[in-house]
Amino acid sequence: MPKLAAVLALLASCASPALDEAKLVDLTWAFDRDSVYWPTAQSFELTTVAHGANDQGLWYASNDFRASEHGGTHLDAPIHFAEGRWSSHEIPLRHFIGPARVIDVRAACAADRDHRLSVSDVEAYEARHGALRAGDVVLVHTGWGRFWPNRERYLGSAERGVADNLHFPGIGKDAAELLVERGVELVGIDTASLDHGPTTTFDAHRVLAGANVPGLENVAHLELLPPRGATLIALPMKIRDGTGGPCRIVALLP
């Protein structure tokens, strides 16, 4: 709880008319018809119920929406890949708020679109920016956000209903194990999956979920964050027994 108390104290100190909005960064893609979803998942659909004057001549607007839990900027709850682990509503709040540690692997991903975050990538980051600590939030910056929402470039294939030919970066199994060892409480990435596109076993998901470490996928605008010093706040939809859900993610810059 000390970490959460410190973060809440920081936020309380900012809750005034003097809050510098330039220090707030929105790390969330807007949900719309172009939002990237897994090829086999229900995409986001918005249906207009009302938009205009009602029978009293007063303005009223309302929509219905439907979508998979897993698409756009969203949460992966541990139950998604690990039996008996937390579902969306069971994840303690402390896992959604914490010091953001941004590991930049853009160069490696530009050279290999199937690059997986490695132990050496993590150790190189720690050598430059300090060791990861228990309670940290690790965000993997692949640079893939520059392709959003072009499905062909973002996923490697724009074909719907088939996930057999996807190519984008992710997290390697050994690196996931190291993050668990470090005590990281939340892991995010700016691609469609914690695992790289060609995976069939989703090892990074299984390692992290098995340790009750939630994931964030399709995180936006990581280029706006420093390697360390920002505070991340992720607020997913609280779906009872959910395996994930849409998420609003923001960061407070130092």
Q: Which regions of 20-151 does DSSP assign to beta strands (E)?
A: 24-26, 45-53, 59-66, 74-76, 97-104, 116-117, 137-141
Spell out the long-range contacts of 112-116 with Cβ–Cβ below 8 A and sequence spacing 24 or more. Answer: 112/169, 113/156, 113/167, 113/168, 113/169, 113/197, 114/167, 114/168, 114/169, 114/196, 114/197, 114/198, 115/142, 115/169, 115/196, 116/169, 116/170, 116/171, 116/172, 116/175, 116/195, 116/196, 116/204
Instruction: List the beta bridge partners of residue 94.
Output: none
Residue of 51, 70, 74, 80 marked catalytic = 80
**pLDDT at residue 40, as a whole number:** 96
Q: Which regions of the chain does DSSP assign to beta strands (E)?
A: 24-26, 45-53, 59-66, 74-76, 97-104, 116-117, 137-141, 170-171, 186-189, 215-217, 228-236, 244-252
**pLDDT at residue 225, as a whole number:** 98
CB 171 within 8 A of CB 134: no
**pLDDT at residue 20, as a whole number:** 80
**pLDDT at residue 93, as a whole number:** 97
Q: Is residue 95 flagged as an active site residue? A: no
Predicted TM-score (pTM) of the model is: 0.93
Domains and CATH numbers, the chain: 22-252 (3.50.30.50)
**pLDDT at residue 21, as a whole number:** 83
Radius of gyration, alpha carbons of the chain? 19
Q: Which residues of the chain have pLDDT under 50?
A: none
